[in-house]
Amino acid sequence: MNEADVNSRAWDGEVDNNSYWAKIADNKAISDARDGKPGIRVTIDKDVPLSWIEGLKGKHVLVLGGGGGQQTPVLSAFGCDTECCDISRRMLEKDREALEKYNLKAKLHQMDMQDLSLFPSESFDAVISPVSLNFIRDIEKVYKEVSRVLKSGGSYIFGIANPALYIFDDRLLLKGKMKIKYTLPFADEISLSKKELEKRIRKGDTIEFSHTLETIIGGLNDAGFVIAGFISDGSSFEPIDSFLHDCYLAFRAIRI
């Protein structure tokens, strides 16, 4: 099974489902960015600190796995030389829609974030990636690619789900009930039965991986990064947020 193909189709479908991540930036977000106050989210509810972004004006920035019409147009409005890579054609169409609406420019590429060979080494001053690593089997491969395309001193700003989110029975969660079902690390192809996995794919769901804290943090260090900033965020889903505050994690890492 190729999770990239499955997730490409699933995220195409999320556009029709009016996913949170497929709603283009509103007028205020673009106006704020033009005024020097870009609101960038790599998790669900909370903007990253402005100090993580404000030095990127005029810089070459890659939005990685971040189509949907949010980060790309906001960064462009802020004055960044922006490019976006996403595996979903339709999520990139949302970027294109936002750029045309606000008369902005950015380069858009449909590609797998695990292979950034399109870009020469040390091409970017920053890579910004909304929650997308949970759809990747080997995040250390992504880390190495990001490290390669970043200039020395460049920043990697990304969000990822707390692995603990994956212990719950997701069907019961939708009913507001919390029941521990899975062991960690979670992977759809291993944690689910063959029948459950096939059903999930037929429904257009994504294939996901929880990863371990050793891989998330240790792998980042092994790829040549130092952590310079960290925040956590909720999930916008009260049953979970009442139990686990740090549902999503956001890092600012510097390539050394």
140 vs 178: CA distance, rounded Å? 31
250 vs 253: CA distance, rounded Å? 10
Residue of 122, 130, 126, 120 whose CA lies nearest to 78: 126
62 vs 81: CA distance, rounded Å? 9
Q: What is the mean pLDDT of residues 113-135?
A: 97
In the chain, the percentage of residues whose pLDDT exceeds 90 is: 91
Sorted by where each begins, the domain ranges of the chain are 3-161+210-237+245-255
Over 80: is that where the pLDDT of 107 sits?
Answer: yes
Number of other residues whose CB lies within 10 A of the CB of residue 198: 12
Q: SS3 of 224, please?
A: coil
Q: Show the tokens assigned to 215.
A: 């891989």
Task: Return the pLDDT at 52.
Answer: 98
In the sheet that 124-129 helps form, which strands lie side by side, from edge to edge?
A: 107-110, 81-86, 60-64, 124-129, 150-161, 248-255, 225-233
Q: SS3 of 117, please?
A: coil
Bridge partner list, 109 = 85
Q: What length is written for the chain?
A: 256
Task: Return the pLDDT at 83.
Answer: 98
CA distances from 185 to 37, 92, 201, 250 (A): 38, 30, 20, 19
Higher pLDDT: 124 or 238? It is 124
Burial class from Cβ neighbours inside 10 Å (0-12, 13-18, 19+) for residue 68 reads buried
Q: What is the mean pLDDT of residues 209-232?
A: 98
Q: Please state the CATH superfamily assignment of the domain spanning residues 3-161+210-237+245-255 in this structure.
A: Vaccinia Virus protein VP39 (3.40.50.150)
Express each pLDDT in 155-195 by its tens digit: 999 999 999 999 999 888 878 788 999 999 999 999 999 99
Task: Return the pLDDT at 175.
Answer: 81
Number of other residues whose CB lies within 10 A of the CB of residue 55: 11
Task: Return the pLDDT at 1.
Answer: 67
Angle CA(224)–CA(253)–CA(166) in degrees, nearest 5?
Answer: 100
Q: Residue with structure tokens 């797998």?
A: 112
- Rounded to two decimals, the pTM is 0.96
